[in-house]
Structure formats: structure tokens, C-alpha cells
Amino acid sequence: MQQLGQLQHSVELWRGLGSQVADLLELTSLAIETGDESVADELSVETAAAAASLAKAEMALTLSGPYDDRPAILTIHSGAGGTDSHDWVEMLTGMYAGWATTGSRPVQVLNTAYGDEAGLRTSTLEIGGLHAFGYLNAEVGVHRLVRISPFDPARRRQTSFARVEVLPSAVDDDPEVEVRADDLKMDFFRSSGPGGQNVQKVASAVRLTHIPTGIVVTCQTERSQHQNRDYAMRILRAKLLALREEERAQELSALRGDRVSAEWGNQIRSYVLHPYKSTDSSKPGW
């Protein structure tokens, strides 16, 4: 039913574009025949809208991978840079959550681990919506930030790194992912970071170990032990799906990219909030 719904959406989209273009052509021909120039502005606006819709639909055609239409599980790990890298993880988390919210995509925070002084050591989000994994898969890699550190009293420039990992979410009945209860080891511990007395004093955090593969997943976001276990299972199933792909076709790099250390020389994108050289100290630069 999910596949049927996606196909129906695609068919309706292209039929709608075809009908829209046909109407514009007919209106244009009629205006030329009658010499009516009053509709020129209206035709210009509607043509631009049709062109934008077409460009968006053509972009969706490129997202034809086997998992591009699935929700994405996005994990951000801090790298070199100390406290600034933790703050960078929190900034990236907000950036991706904002992107999803702007596009009316559902966002669920699956796990967060707080830094010692500020920010996050790691965060995991599940982002849904049409072709979520297809769009976010391009974000895999090391992201570099250059700025004046707000944590340095001397106000020196600091470079920090974070690694973004994106996995396709595994569906409940996915035949490629089978998790047996005998293959799981479950541990409970107290969560760290802010969240109130219940989070810090009750063993609500969950650590799942998949014994056959050695994959370990930790979740401590929620106050409910049951909820944390559910989130951890979702992350584990996504990791197992990626692992099955690696074993079967050596395509893990296409799913989440090569594992590289988050440091100099490995970044895929740099964000510079301060110039290397400034000609006018009174004006901020980018």
C-alpha cells in the first residue's frame, strides 16, 4: 500500500504538470489569435510557477536508489575541536531539524549525548517525508566550521569538525533485517546531561548490543525506558540494513560514505564565519 501510494503520487504529479502546461499553451494561442496583451503578466507568472514545479519534479527523478524513498536516520558525531566541536554538532542538529521543519517533514530525536561543557557529543534524528534518505544522503561526510570561538576568552579563531552519517530507515517487515531476541543483549543505565531528576536518577537509558555483529546502540533521550528501547531498535535495524548491503554488494559507501576521522583534510564542506584576513576590522566578514 505504501508503494502504491507513492506511485499514485508520482502519476498525479506528472499528469498535473502536463495539464498545467497544456492549459498555458492553449491560453497563449488564444491570446495571440485575439491580440489580447492583458494576460501577458498572468501568463508570465504561471509559466514561471510551472517551470519551478517541473524542476522540482525532475530533481525527484534522480532519487531513484533502492532506499531513496525511505525516512533517513541521521547521526552527527563530534570530531576534532573540543568544546567547539560539541557546539558544532548542536548547530548542525538544529540546521537539519530546521530543514525538515521547513519542508513539513516529520522529525524525531532518537538520541542525544551532551558535551562536558556545552553542545552535544552526538545526536541522532529520524527525518521522514518523501525521498528523505535520497536528499540527505548527499550530506554524508565530515563538516568543518571556522569561526571565532565563543568559548575562548582570547577570542581566537577555532576550527572544529563533525561527521555526519545517514542511513535509510528499516521498515518493520523488511525481509533483509531480522533481529531475534536471542541475538540481543540489553543493558540499562542512568542517563547523563540535562533532563530532570527522573532522567538522571532512574536507569532509563538503554544500550543494545547485537551479539552476532557486535553493533552497539545507545539511547538516552527519553525518560521512558520503553521509549528509549524502541528508538534504539530503530537505529539498530537501520545499521543492520546497511551492514547487509555491505555484505551482499559492497555498497555501504553508497549508503553512509566511507568512515573517516573528523579532522583536517577530510571535510566535505566548510563553514567559515570569520575571514582568514580582514581588511577592515570594524566590519564583520564571512
CATH of domain 72-272: 3.30.70.1660
Give the mean pLDDT of 150-165.
88
Q: What is the pLDDT of residues 53-105, one digit of tens each?
A: 888 888 777 887 778 888 899 999 998 888 899 999 999 999 999 999 998 89
Cell of 252: 555501504
The rounded distance, in Å, linking the Cα atoms of 218 and 141 is 22
- Amino acid, res. 166: V
More confident site: 147 or 225: 147
Domain ranges (residues) in the chain: 2-62, 72-272
What is the rounded average pLDDT for all residues in the chain? 80
Kindly state the average pLDDT of the residues 218-238. Answer: 81
User: What 3 state SS string does 143-183 have?
Assistant: EEEEEECCCCCCCCEEEEEEEEEEEECCCCCCCCCCCCHHH
Q: Among 126, 118, 125, 86, which residue's Cα sits nearest to residue 193?
A: 118
Position 197 confidence tier, pLDDT thresholds 50, 70, 90: very low
- Residue ranges with strand state E in 211-266: 215-219
- Expressed in angstroms, the distance from the first to the final Cα of the chain is 49
Angle between helices 40-62 and 2-34 (to 10 degrees): 150
Residue bearing the bigger pLDDT, 19 or 224: 19
Q: Read off the pLDDT of residues 8-34 as tens digits, 9 standing for 90 and up.
A: 888 888 898 899 899 888 888 888 888
Distance of alpha carbon 105 from alpha carbon 88, whole angstroms: 23
Cell numbers for 194: 540535562
Residue 199 banded pLDDT, cuts 50, 70, 90: very low
